[in-house]
Amino acid sequence: MSIITRFAPSPTGHLHVGNARIAIANALLSLRDGGRFVLRYDDTDVERSRDEYADSIADDLTWLGIEWDEVVRQSARLDEYRGAASKLEKLGRLYKCYETREELELKRKHLLSSKQPPIYDRGALALSDGERASLEAEGRRAHWRFKLAPGEITWADLVRGPQHYDPANVSDPVLIREDGTFLYTLPSVVDDMAFGVTHIVRGEDHVTNTAVQLQIMEALGGTPASLSFAHLPLLVGPEGEPLSKRLGTASLREMRDDGLEPMALASMLAALGTSEAVAVCHDLVALATTFNFAHVSRNSPRFDPNNLWPLNAQLLQETPFAAVADRLGLPDADEAFWIAVRGNIDRLAGAREWWVICHEPLTPVPGEMDFLTAAAEVLPPAPWDGETFRAWVAAVKAETGRKGKALFMPLRVALTGRDHGPELHNLLPLIGRERVLKRLSGDVA
């Protein structure tokens, strides 16, 4: 049986790192096993869902390298959900409730004060037809609850292992609001059945929802045993603290704007919470070969955005010029330039800084002029190549007696205005003999 996964964001905002982790896990599972990936917009919340957010989500997934086989919008499938609700009502599994939020809260507080679990008492089931009619005459509109059946709910979770839930410990869930709109629970089950989803990968905050949804699926004539689940532990901050707004809701768009490479993020998120070290991969297909739910720990993985930048730097260092040529924004840049600078940047935009240093006028930094003048006198003639710098250094050493840092640092500062950076033997041919001479003499060049 072919694996079918789904990623089901609500288009009520931009994707953030937690969303991305779930999307990547689903995509890697389908890629690893040659399956299908369904992008489903859970957009039944018409007041908050926006087309621009749906477009943003698709754009972010594309940036991550995720391709989908099918797009589903729940807002276009309301008739299917109404049909499923009607079936559940006829089976006696969906019933009207008229309590207001205030009344439900009072019930909840009363149960808690009595040391009882705050589980809905199914009071609406005891209403007579006349009482229902009277409540509706008052202007009350019903919400609809799914009646959970007794009996243990079980499934084998790919991350959490065997799961056992007693529905007696859970309130009958509300499936339809007073205004007739659906909560995500019923549409999710209907769509998972309709599109043949085989694996549901999501956060562990959905574990209770899974127990409920399995009963709904069974009531609708589905086969819960055909589904596999993987509930991933939720991310926490670097010290184990709950994710702050800065860490937890940083959108992928913000990360992209900051210069993050998509595969640096994907590589990190795929390894978080596993026993495996982060291995930077250059595409999702390669990353999928290393992905295995058996390696995922039950502990909450720590997400530190500062750890992304060394991965970003490593990825750029391993990236060939052809893969970045169109993204550099430097029409005259060539492979020699990229090889020279890629080991010293953690963002692609950092290459521009070194292009400016090599090719545009540089404000001179005060230096040891006697030493620099002596160095200029033994500067090799053009043309230059990767061996020119070594020959020049040997000549400077012989001329001045200097070596080590006392030799290299004044040259680096005079030529680049920086005390660190790419290897000078790579930069020297890029700067050129004329500009080098001027910089050694303290001129703007």
Whichever domain contains 430, its CATH number is 1.10.10.350
Closest to 439 in 3D by CA, of 369, 390, 354, 344: 369
How crowded is residue 371: how many other Cβ atoms within 10 Å of its Cβ? 19
Q: What average pLDDT does range 221-249 have in this prediction?
A: 83
State mean pLDDT over 282-302: 94
Q: Are residues 331 and 416 in the same domain?
A: no
For residues 334 and 280, membership in a common domain is answered with no
Residue-wise burial string across 281-320, b where 16 or more C-beta atoms lie within 10 A, e elsewhere: bbebeebbebbebeebeeebbbbebeebeebbbbbbeebe
- Is residue 63 in a domain? yes
What is the pLDDT confidence band of residue 244, given thresholds at 50, 70 and 90?
Answer: low
Q: Structurally, how many domains does the chain consist of?
A: 4
Q: Is residue 188 part of a domain?
A: no
- Work out the mean pLDDT of the chain and round it to a whole number: 94
Query: Does position 246 have pLDDT exceeding 60, yes or no?
Result: no
179 burial type by CB count under 10 A (0-12 exposed, 13-18 middle, 19+ buried): exposed
Which residue, 176, 192, 208, sits at the end of a domain? 176
- Among 38, 42, 66, 18, smallest CA distance to 288 is for 66
Phi, psi of 155, rounded to the nearest 5 degrees: -160, 160
- Least Cα distance to 232 among 279, 306, 295 occurs for 295
| Residue 301 falls in which region: left (phi positive, over 0), alpha (psi -120 to 50) or beta | beta
Does 306 fall in a domain? Answer: yes
Residues 376-430: tens digit of each pLDDT: 999 999 999 999 999 999 999 999 999 999 999 999 999 999 999 999 999 999 9
Report the alpha-carbon distance of residue 110 to residue 59 in Å, rounded: 48
Residues 409 and 355 in one domain: no
Query: How much is the pLDDT for 237?
Result: 84
Is the same domain home to 278 and 239? yes
Are 37 and 55 in the same domain? yes
Q: Is pLDDT at 278 greater than 80 in this prediction?
A: yes
- Kindly report the CATH number assigned to the domain that includes residue 274: 3.40.50.620
Residue 366's pLDDT band (cuts 50, 70, 90): confident
Instruction: Give percent of the chain above pLDDT 70.
Output: 98
Structure tokens at 153: 């709910």
Residue 311 and residue 346 in one domain: no
CB–CB of 18/51 below 8 Å? no
Quick check: 94 and 149 in contact, CB under 8 A?
Answer: no
Structure tokens belonging to residue 281: 């991969």
pLDDT tens across 84-108, in order?
999 999 999 999 999 999 999 999 9
**pLDDT tier, 233 (very low <50, low <70, confident <90, very high otherwise):** very high
Q: 317-342: per-residue pLDDT in tens?
A: 999 999 999 999 999 999 999 999 99
Measured between alpha carbons, how far is 8 from 211 in angstroms, rounded to an integer? 18
Contacts of residue 33, Cβ cutoff 8 Å, sequence gap at least 6: 2, 3
Are 43 and 65 in the same domain?
yes
Domain boundary among 306, 330, 359: 359
Query: 3-state class of 231 per DSSP?
Result: strand
Higher-scoring residue by pLDDT: 144, 16:
144
202 within some domain: no
| 380's tokens | 């090799």
- The tens digit of pLDDT for each residue in 137-148 reads 999 999 999 999
The answer to whether the peptide bond before residue 383 is cis (omega within 30 degrees of 0) is yes
Q: Is residue 142 part of a domain?
A: yes
Q: Residue 270 pLDDT more than 60?
A: yes
Q: What is the pLDDT of residues 34-76, one digit of tens each?
A: 999 999 999 998 889 999 999 999 999 999 999 999 999 999 9
Does residue 182 fall inside a structural domain? no
**Domain boundary, last residue among 127, 150, 176:** 176
pTM: 0.91
Kindly list the strands in the beta sheet with 143-146, ordered across the sheet, starting from the edge strand earlier in the chain: 94-97, 143-146, 174-176
Mean pLDDT value of segment 198-213 = 95
Residue 183 belongs to a domain: no
- The pLDDT value recorded for residue 10 is 95
Check whether residue 410 and residue 382 sit in a common domain.
yes
Give the three-state DSSP class for 38: strand
pLDDT for position 250: 66
Q: What is the mean pLDDT of residues 193-214?
A: 96
Our measurement of the distance from residue 137's CA atom to the centroid of its chain's CA atoms, rounded to an integer in Å, reads 49
> Are 59 and 105 part of one and the same domain?
no
- In this predicted structure, what is the pLDDT of residue 181? 95
Cα distance between residue 380 and residue 384, in whole Å: 8
Report the chain's terminal Cα–Cα distance, integer Å: 67
Q: 327 and 313: one domain?
A: no
Q: Are residues 311 and 248 in the same domain?
A: yes
pLDDT band, residue 289 (cuts 50/70/90): very high
279 SS3 class: coil
Q: Which helix (H) or strand (E) holds 398?
A: helix 388-400
Is the pLDDT at 248 greater than 60? The verdict is: no
Q: Answer yes or no: do 64 and 108 share one domain.
A: no
- For the cut 70, the answer to whether the pLDDT of residue 344 exceeds it is yes
Closest by Cα among 431, 265, 440 to 360: 431
Give residue 89's domain range. 80-176
pLDDT digit string (tens) for 125-134?
A: 999 999 999 9
DSSP structure string for 52-70: HHHHHHHHHHHHHT---SE
Predicted pLDDT of residue 134: 96
State residue 396's pLDDT score: 97
CA distance 414 to 391: 18
Please tell me the distance from the alpha carbon of residue 444 to that of residue 442, in angstroms, as a whole number: 7
Residue 239 in domain: yes
DSSP reduced 3-state for 48: coil
